């Protein structure tokens, strides 16, 4: 081989190496199956093309996903490179060093563009452990056609007493029209998410400053009695089986006059292909009872990298891409601005195209900005989280109390009895876990 040929071969190899990606990896992402994530799945081909990496998607239902990723991360199974987790898990897992800190994202990512309340919810010990894909709060949806017909006017900041009056007026059981639809399905993320905001605004709290459960207090009693009474008078039958999806189906098929739930439902209710009441729906703030604290919740679905990942660099690259301003713009251009991931970035809410396409945008932004995770209740508490308590024991506690509240709703037991049992059960768990000596 002549020197010239050898030189040519070297040049060709160098050119080939330069044309190929510097590294390529296959990452596995565990995620939930909702429309935002499906869009991300479709658009992720762009990232694959750009970087030469490949993605394996593991898409699961929310509760299955939670169990699956919890098993994997606690046993250090290392099955996933990116996890979709919520604002409840992120600080708990971050404190355990189960997640890779994301403090070194490139300047172009503009971390400060993410709403401070969202960043705060996804941080622990001063480190950001997950980046938000979308965030939500809760507010009140109502049917403006039914309100107009009945001569009622929904205030900008409704009170629960007003909600009760409206619900009484608008219930027409003969035509399967119910004044109000609220979550009744037991679960810490189902009925207890809503009920915790209700208790907050009635002036209650889960625990006092010393972690003593407060479920037998007058505030809890007033809140749960109000809920049970309202749902029995004006709620749909079988309400103890209704979670977010069931109520969404009821509202979107015209069976509910009011519904207090996640702001993310706005995009679905305004979508004519999914909702029969798209041109009749309106929204206002979540109602308050006695105090404004914690009357509307905060939740974010976020992407995090488990510390067991073997492809941290590729995973970080994907996180930065899929939660960036450019990604928001890509969704807007590809699928329309109504469906861009809401609630995360200030720049999204400064975009005139988004504001024009999503009439609920400003409301959602205000709800998210005013959701105060550090001070969720009127009285002092030792925990963070509005519709949950950010401690590992809360999943079990919340679900157990949720079952008792569902029992009170169906009339299996009285509110008094349900709260008494709930207090005893939570106290036992907290003692066992060492919070109370």
Partner 1 sequence: MKARLATLLAWVIALLNVFPLVWMALASFKTEVDAIHTPPLLFFHPTLENYQAIFALQDYTGYALNSVAISLGATLITVLIAIPAAFAMAFYPGPRTRDILLWMLSTKMLPAVGVLVPIYLLCRDAGLLDTRTALIIVYVLSNLPIAVWMLFTFFRETPRDIIEASRIDGASVGETILLVLLPLVLPGIASTALLLIILCWNEAFWSLNLTAHNAAPLTAFIASFSAPQGLFWARLSAASLLAIAPILVFGWLSQRQLVRGLTFGAVK
- Give me the residues that bind partner 1 (CB under 8 A), please: 28, 30, 32-35, 38, 41-42, 56-62, 64, 67-68, 71, 75-80, 176, 244-245, 248-249, 252-253, 255, 262, 264-265, 268, 273-276
Beta bridge partners of 56: 28
Q: Which residues contact 303 (CB under 8 A, 6 or more apart)?
A: 29, 82, 83, 84, 130, 131, 133, 318, 319, 322, 323
CB 128, CB 428: distance < 8 Å: no
The residue (of 220 and 251) whose beta carbon lies closer to partner 1 is 251
Minimal distance in Å, beta carbon 154 to partner 1? Answer: 24
Burial label, 245 (beta-carbon count in 10 A; 0-12, 13-18, 19+):
exposed
CB 24, CB 54: distance < 8 Å: yes
The residue (of 212 and 399) whose beta carbon lies closer to partner 1 is 399
The residue (of 100 and 265) whose beta carbon lies closer to partner 1 is 265
The residue (of 93 and 299) whose beta carbon lies closer to partner 1 is 299
Minimal distance in Å, beta carbon 382 to partner 1? Answer: 29
Q: Which residues contact 239 (CB under 8 A, 6 or more apart)?
A: 181, 182, 184, 231, 409
Q: What do you get for the CA distance between the two ends of the chain, in Å? A: 82
Minimal distance in Å, beta carbon 75 to partner 1? Answer: 5
CB 237, CB 412: distance < 8 Å: no
Minimal distance in Å, beta carbon 155 to partner 1? Answer: 28
The residue (of 56 and 414) whose beta carbon lies closer to partner 1 is 56
Minimal distance in Å, beta carbon 340 to partner 1? Answer: 16
Minimal distance in Å, beta carbon 28 to partner 1? Answer: 6
How open is the CA angle 116-315-86, to the nearest 5 degrees? 45
Minimal distance in Å, beta carbon 243 to partner 1? Answer: 9
Minimal distance in Å, beta carbon 32 to partner 1? Answer: 6
Minimal distance in Å, beta carbon 178 to partner 1? Answer: 13
The residue (of 59 and 433) whose beta carbon lies closer to partner 1 is 59
The residue (of 201 and 252) whose beta carbon lies closer to partner 1 is 252
The residue (of 108 and 273) whose beta carbon lies closer to partner 1 is 273
Burial label, 284 (beta-carbon count in 10 A; 0-12, 13-18, 19+):
middle
- Look-up of token digits 């593991």: 58
The residue (of 80 and 109) whose beta carbon lies closer to partner 1 is 80
Minimal distance in Å, beta carbon 177 to partner 1? Answer: 12
The residue (of 58 and 357) whose beta carbon lies closer to partner 1 is 58
The residue (of 266 and 289) whose beta carbon lies closer to partner 1 is 266
Minimal distance in Å, beta carbon 191 to partner 1? Answer: 15
CB 31, CB 65: distance < 8 Å: yes
């Amino acid at each position: 081989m002549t020197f010239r040929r050898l030189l040519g071969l070297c040049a060709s190899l160098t050119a080939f190496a330069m044309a190929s990606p510097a590294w390529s990896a296959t990452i596995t992402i565990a995620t939930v199956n909702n429309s935002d994530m499906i869009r991300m799945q479709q658009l992720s081909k762009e990232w694959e093309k750009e970087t030469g990496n490949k993605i394996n998607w593991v898409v699961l239902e929310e509760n299955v996903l939670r169990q699956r990723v919890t098993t994997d991360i606690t046993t250090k199974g290392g099955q996933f490179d990116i996890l979709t987790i919520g604002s409840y898990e992120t600080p708990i897992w971050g404190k355990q060093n189960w997640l890779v800190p994301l403090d070194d994202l490139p300047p172009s990512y503009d971390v400060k563009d993410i709403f401070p309340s969202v960043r705060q919810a996804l941080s622990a010990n001063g480190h950001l452990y997950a980046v938000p894909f979308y965030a939500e709060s809760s507010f009140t949806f109502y049917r403006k056609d039914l309100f107009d017909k009945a001569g009622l006017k929904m205030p900008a900041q409704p009170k629960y007493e007003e909600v009760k009056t409206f619900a009484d007026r608008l219930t027409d059981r003969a035509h399967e029209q119910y004044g109000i639809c609220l979550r009744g399905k037991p679960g810490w993320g189902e009925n207890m998410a809503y009920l915790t905001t209700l208790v907050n605004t009635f002036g209650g709290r889960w625990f006092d400053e010393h972690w003593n459960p407060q479920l037998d207090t007058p505030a809890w009693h007033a809140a749960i009695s109000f809920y049970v009474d309202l749902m029995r008078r004006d709620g749909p039958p079988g309400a103890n089986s209704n979670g977010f999806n069931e109520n969404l189906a009821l509202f979107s098929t015209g069976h509910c006059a009011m519904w207090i739930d996640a702001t993310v439902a706005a995009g679905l209710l305004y979508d004519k292909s999914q909702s029969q009441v798209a041109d009749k729906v309106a929204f206002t703030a979540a109602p308050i009872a006695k105090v404004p604290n914690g009357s509307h919740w905060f939740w974010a679905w976020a992407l995090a990298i488990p510390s067991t990942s073997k492809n941290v660099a590729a995973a970080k690259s994907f996180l930065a891409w899929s939660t960036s301003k450019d990604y928001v713009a890509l969704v807007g251009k590809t699928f329309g601005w109504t469906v861009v991931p809401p609630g995360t970035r200030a720049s999204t809410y400064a975009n005139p195209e988004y504001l024009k396409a999503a009439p609920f945008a400003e409301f959602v932004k205000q709800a998210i900005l005013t959701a105060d995770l550090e001070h969720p209740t009127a009285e002092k508490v030792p925990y963070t989280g509005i519709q949950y308590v950010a401690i590992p024991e809360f999943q079990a506690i919340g679900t157990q109390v949720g079952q008792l509240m569902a029992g009170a709703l169906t009339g299996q037991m009285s509110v008094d009895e349900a709260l008494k049992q709930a207090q005893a059960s939570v106290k036992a768990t907290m003692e066992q876990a060492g919070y109370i000596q």
